[in-house]
Structure 1
Amino acid sequence: MAEIRLRSILRKELLPLAQRILQISHIPLAVYDAQDNLLLGDTFETEADRYAIAVGEETLGWVQGGEEAAPLASLLSDLALRAVEKKTLANEVLDRYREINLLYNIAAKLTHCREVSTVATVAVEEAQRLIYGTSAVLMLLNPDTQILDLQLIVGDPVAVEPKTSLGEGIAGYVAKTGISEIVNDVAADVRYGEVVPGIRSLLCAPMKALDRVIGVISIHHAELFTYTAADLKLLTAIALQSAPAIENALFYQRQMEAARQREAKLQEQLQELRIEVDEAKRASQVAEITESDFFVQLLQKAKDLRQRR
């Protein structure tokens, strides 16, 4: 729930009106905040009833006085509830704006990335910049072997296996299910296995392209740390934003490799053609020599000499 202080409600909504009512009616009332600081009215010299000013289960303050104090406490509670709703809505709008702005900035950085390593670096560094952690990891799923291959580690060195089977550990589980995970104590999670130095709490989100998981991004903390749903939502957004760029980079990489193979094959064919041309040229030159009148006369003279012997 958004934090609301009773003093701010009185100042914005009710203070002038309440002060005027108290002056005219001479009703003995006093309004206190949750720390018993007097906000309105006069301190009572004798004990008087206190009525809570509350939103849900949270008490923001009290109204002290006779029977007239109850309606004022109810009014202030209603005003506080409306203020909480307004502030919550404003915070949600601000969070959404920040998220959209964040994704736009990441997309702009990824637009010109054609190498898988470059995309991975941008994604992981952005994640670690925006979400507190001591290290971050990106792994890509090999579609043929169904193995997660370690691509990049940033931050503190951590003992991450270079290859992880689908369904193995937290990363393998996220890759298999496509569901993001918060694990604030890996020692208490049976999926994690043996706790390694440098990873005690973590977030892990799948990278999806066309509803197909192509990898995972993880943020780690070396000590016990409480990650929140907002942290996980942010990491998930970064992973989803980065996945198409990874997919495009992989496609570009495959196209470049295919082009290199075609070029190598063409060079091989050209070399074979040169050899064939050279052999044909040599055969033509030999035929030209052996079929000349001079060569025919020379052969006849050699034959005559052999017969005379």
Structure 2
Amino acid sequence: MEKTPSFICRHESGEALRPSQFQEDGEDYSADGMDREKVKQSPDRKLLKYREYIKKKDRLLTSIYKISRLLNRPITRDKILQSLVNEMKRVFDLQRGLIFLINKRENTLEVKYVIGFSPHEVKRAFAHPLDMDRDKCRETLVAKTGKTIYIRNAKNSPVITEFDFKMDRIWNRISSVTMPLKIKGEIIGVIQGDQTSKELILSKSDINLFSAFASHASIIIENARLKEQYQKKIAQLLSLQEITKKTSSTLVLKKLLSIVTTNALKITGASVCTLLLTERGHLEIVSQVGHDYVYKGGFRLKIGEGIAGWVAEKGVPLLVGDVTNEPRYIEIIPGIGSILAAPLVSEKRVLGVLVVASNKKLAFSVDDLELLMVFASHTAVVIDGVRLYEQVIKERNNAANILESSPNGIVMIDEDKKIRALNRKAEEILGLRRKDILDRKISEIFKGKRICEVLSNVIDKREIIDNQEVAFSRNDRSTAILGLNSSSLIPDDRGVNAVIITIRDLTEIKRTEEMLKRVEKLSSLGQMSANIAHEIRNPLASINFNAQLLSKRLIADENTGEILKDTFEGIERIKVLLKRVLDFTKKEQPSFSKGSIHNVISEALSLIEPQIKNRKVIIKKCFAEGIPEVVFDPHQIQQVFVNLFMNALESMEKDGTMEIKSALGKYDKEGRQVIITISDDGIGIPPENISRVFDPFFTTKPDGTGLGLSIVYKIMEQHDARIEIKNRENKGTSFVLHFPIKTQI
């Protein structure tokens, strides 16, 4: 506490009084005057004044103690300022009170708290800070000189400036006392009290007490400021710690960038935050928050250009308090006043720049710069890690895509004979779903199948197989021919061995090979059959002629008539057989047209209706709706259905059932198809004969020619169609015909 405050007192005459000449209530308090006062004043009056001084001082000390205790409570600096002006008003019997604090950045004196003013006056006080150089008034003078100014009557004071007079008129001030707030000799602000309805009369002791109050108030305000600053820093560090957890917990770069910009905005109190990353000698905006302007993408800034480019080039942070005075500033967002930019540095590489900006000038401090640097350093490390992770994931996905796109099935089996991985093609070839076989043993999946034995030998005996062919029965009862290859994997970091099995579906290849063999065989057989037919037909004509001649010349008896009848029947059978052989070998081109397959089926059934009735066979037609028209030769396809229907009738006893179904097949590599299924409940085909049923002259019927199904197969080939057999021995046979849907004839 100052024992002798430095102040300037203005008497109502306007003359400046030094402390040694200060008068209180008309009394002389100079050195000589004090001696005279001792003579003049009675002991009772002295005692009364002393008691009043002690009471006022006691109130002052109580107020200071009361306010000091607030520092130990979780309240804001504004609350402490409020308590200060309240206590000042109460202790010194003031009508109004104010506290001004100096803003060094703006070089202004700003009102921080007031009491006793009207709402309009309060709004004006806060809206118009005093310029330390431009505004000549008692408040700025005290803030500059550190001298106390006491004005008893402003109306009669000639030393009041024009600006003082204007403020007194606005605020209706009669008298005031203005005292500096100091900390270690540095002026941090001004405390002021005034009267509007009467003169403010202060004695020298009152000034001393007011000075003491101001000194303690300065300490309390500074402590409150430091406490608020520390609390802010602690809050920022806690926020930084929380942000660090958030950024470290995500491995998605886009989400990470959003977290970074959002929280950088939060901890610095900025208006907008922009994150730029380096890309081929440029900076690109990858995330931006906090402004009406929404980043649309495509913005590029050269390294070294603008504030962000300079920071990226130099690798050092930059604090710009006023962008209007910064030549490196390039306006991207309008209305920016100050900028703080920090480089993102990881392993001596600048990955980008984190920029926070405010609409206000001088919005950021050195503390903000240090905090943003810590945040930027952590962000750079995390971004580097996430990029590396994304690169690893990308490479892994590329490898997975290569495997998934492989035209061959790929299966990985570990040393415990468990399937650890497989691709989509393997699922398709095996007819199994990935989720049903992963982490299961091959003995469970392929129990009782040849493939299980082959794969077990590969694991147990370390056999290397090369295109080993295995017949495989799928769950849908279809059979496939698989080609298997194996290779060993390098043991992983746990020392686990595994093998890769490559699977090729050879079914179509084998079918094509068989077809080529069949075509070659049929071609040779057809040529030979045609030659034989021609060789037989000429002698047969002579035999037929001679037999007819003999029948006319011989005496007809019963025995001779039977012999001739058998001869003519035999000749006729040979003629029919020769015709079929020649029809089979004849290369007749189909005459294609577009039509309904259902109509052809119905016409074929009409042709064999007598045979159907004779055998009392039940016909079931299950035709699907919406079957499109098919391109075919109606006459040839009718022959196909007649042959198949007759084959079915001949395989059944009386009272049998023949079912004809149509369906629209799914899209596959051959396109979409119309599927016709002809099923009977006859005796079926022995398994050993299935591969031969379409061979010419193969028949199990005593009077059959073995050409019916061969002709069917030939016609289907000419139509780019396909026929297959689904046989159940002793339970019936199904012929499945696949007709391609063609748009052009």
Report TM bin, short chain: 0.5 to 0.7
Match of 1:193 in 2: 330
Match of 1:125 in 2: 262
- Output the amino acid matched with 1:55: K
Further displaced range: 120-129 or 280-289:
280-289
CA contact (8 A) 1:149 1:162 kept: yes
Against the structure 1 CA distance between its residues 307 and 227, is the aligned structure 2 distance closer, same or farther, given a 3 Å change threshold? farther
Q: 1:219 aligns with which of 346, 356, 359?
A: 356
Q: 1:154 aligns with which of 277, 286, 289?
A: 289
Q: Hey, what's the Cα distance between the residues in 1 that align with 2:274 and 2:535?
A: 91
1:206 aligns with 2:343: yes
Against the structure 1 CA distance between its residues 94 and 140, is the aligned structure 2 distance closer, same or farther, given a 3 Å change threshold? same
1:284 aligns with 2:284: no
CA contact (8 A) 1:158 1:199 kept: no
Match of 1:183 in 2: 320
Q: 1:104 aligns with which of 226, 231, 241?
A: 241
1:264 aligns with 2:401: yes
SS in 2 for 1:270: coil
List per-residue Cα deviations over 1:119-166 (Å, max 9, x = no partner): 111111111112122211111112xx1211111111113487711111
CA contact (8 A) 2:273 2:290 kept: yes
Against the structure 1 CA distance between its residues 288 and 170, is the aligned structure 2 distance closer, same or farther, given a 3 Å change threshold? same
- Output the amino acid matched with 1:247: D
Against the structure 1 CA distance between its residues 278 and 162, is the aligned structure 2 distance closer, same or farther, given a 3 Å change threshold? farther
CA contact (8 A) 1:140 1:215 kept: yes
List per-residue Cα deviations over 1:237-258 (Å, max 9, x = no partner): 2211222221222122222322
Against the structure 1 CA distance between its residues 54 and 122, is the aligned structure 2 distance closer, same or farther, given a 3 Å change threshold? closer
Q: 2:372 aligns with which of 204, 218, 235?
A: 235
Match of 2:251 in 1: 114
User: How far does residue 207 in structure 1 lie from its aligned partner after superposition?
Assistant: 1.3
User: How far does residue 277 in structure 1 lie from its aligned partner after superposition?
Assistant: 4.2
Q: Hey, what's the Cα distance between the residues in 1 that align with 2:332 and 2:264?
A: 23
SS in 2 for 1:190: coil
Aligned residue runs from structure 1 range 32-47, under 5 A: none
Against the structure 1 CA distance between its residues 254 and 54, is the aligned structure 2 distance closer, same or farther, given a 3 Å change threshold? closer
Match of 2:139 in 1: none
CA contact (8 A) 2:282 2:302 kept: yes
CA contact (8 A) 2:288 2:294 kept: no
CA contact (8 A) 2:239 2:267 kept: no
Q: Hey, what's the Cα distance between the residues in 2 that align with 1:306 and 1:177?
A: 99
Number of aligned residue pairs: give it: 255
TM-score (normalizing by structure 1): 0.63
List per-residue Cα deviations over 1:184-209 (Å, max 9, x = no partner): 22221111135751423111111122
- Output the amino acid matched with 2:285: L
CA contact (8 A) 1:158 1:197 kept: no
Q: Hey, what's the Cα distance between the residues in 1 that align with 2:344 and 2:381?
A: 9
User: How far does residue 91 in structure 1 lie from its aligned partner after superposition?
Assistant: 8.7
Against the structure 1 CA distance between its residues 299 and 267, is the aligned structure 2 distance closer, same or farther, given a 3 Å change threshold? farther
CA contact (8 A) 1:159 1:198 kept: no
- Output the amino acid matched with 2:529: K
Further displaced range: 269-278 or 214-223:
269-278
- Output the amino acid matched with 1:176: E
User: How far does residue 54 in structure 1 lie from its aligned partner after superposition?
Assistant: 6.9
Q: Hey, what's the Cα distance between the residues in 2 that align with 1:130 and 1:307?
A: 106
Q: Hey, what's the Cα distance between the residues in 2 that align with 1:205 and 1:240?
A: 9
Gaps of 5+ in 2: 1-60, 66-145, 149-181, 190-203, 205-214, 410-424, 430-503, 539-745
TM-score (normalizing by structure 2): 0.29
Q: 2:306 aligns with which of 169, 179, 185?
A: 169
User: How far does residue 180 in structure 1 lie from its aligned partner after superposition?
Assistant: 0.9
User: How far does residue 215 in structure 1 lie from its aligned partner after superposition?
Assistant: 1.3
List per-residue Cα deviations over 1:240-293 (Å, max 9, x = no partner): 12222212221222223223332333333326998984663343322553577x
SS in 2 for 1:224: coil
SS in 2 for 1:167: coil
User: How far does residue 228 in structure 1 lie from its aligned partner after superposition?
Assistant: 0.9
Q: Hey, what's the Cα distance between the residues in 2 that align with 1:164 and 1:230?
A: 28
Match of 2:389 in 1: 252
Against the structure 1 CA distance between its residues 302 and 156, is the aligned structure 2 distance closer, same or farther, given a 3 Å change threshold? same
CA contact (8 A) 2:307 2:330 kept: no
Against the structure 1 CA distance between its residues 302 and 206, is the aligned structure 2 distance closer, same or farther, given a 3 Å change threshold? farther
CA contact (8 A) 1:115 1:249 kept: yes
SS in 2 for 1:259: helix
Q: Hey, what's the Cα distance between the residues in 2 that align with 1:92 and 1:59?
A: 16
Against the structure 1 CA distance between its residues 184 and 57, is the aligned structure 2 distance closer, same or farther, given a 3 Å change threshold? closer
Against the structure 1 CA distance between its residues 57 and 212, is the aligned structure 2 distance closer, same or farther, given a 3 Å change threshold? same
Against the structure 1 CA distance between its residues 117 and 307, is the aligned structure 2 distance closer, same or farther, given a 3 Å change threshold? farther
Q: Hey, what's the Cα distance between the residues in 2 that align with 1:59 and 1:243?
A: 39
CA contact (8 A) 1:179 1:206 kept: yes
User: How far does residue 175 in structure 1 lie from its aligned partner after superposition?
Assistant: 1.1
1:55 aligns with 2:180: no
Further displaced range: 106-115 or 91-100:
91-100
Aligned residue runs from structure 1 range 81-92, under 5 A: none
CA contact (8 A) 1:186 1:195 kept: no
Q: Hey, what's the Cα distance between the residues in 2 that align with 1:57 and 1:257?
A: 61
Gaps of 5+ in 1: 1-6, 12-33, 37-52, 65-76, 78-82
CA contact (8 A) 2:236 2:267 kept: no
Q: Hey, what's the Cα distance between the residues in 1 that align with 2:188 and 2:371?
A: 32
Q: Hey, what's the Cα distance between the residues in 1 that align with 2:308 and 2:248?
A: 27
Against the structure 1 CA distance between its residues 89 and 198, is the aligned structure 2 distance closer, same or farther, given a 3 Å change threshold? closer
Against the structure 1 CA distance between its residues 236 and 282, is the aligned structure 2 distance closer, same or farther, given a 3 Å change threshold? same
SS in 1 for 2:319: strand
Further displaced range: 238-247 or 274-283:
274-283
Against the structure 1 CA distance between its residues 96 and 135, is the aligned structure 2 distance closer, same or farther, given a 3 Å change threshold? closer
Match of 1:301 in 2: 529
- Output the amino acid matched with 1:150: I
List per-residue Cα deviations over 1:87-120 (Å, max 9, x = no partner): 9998998677555433321121122211111111
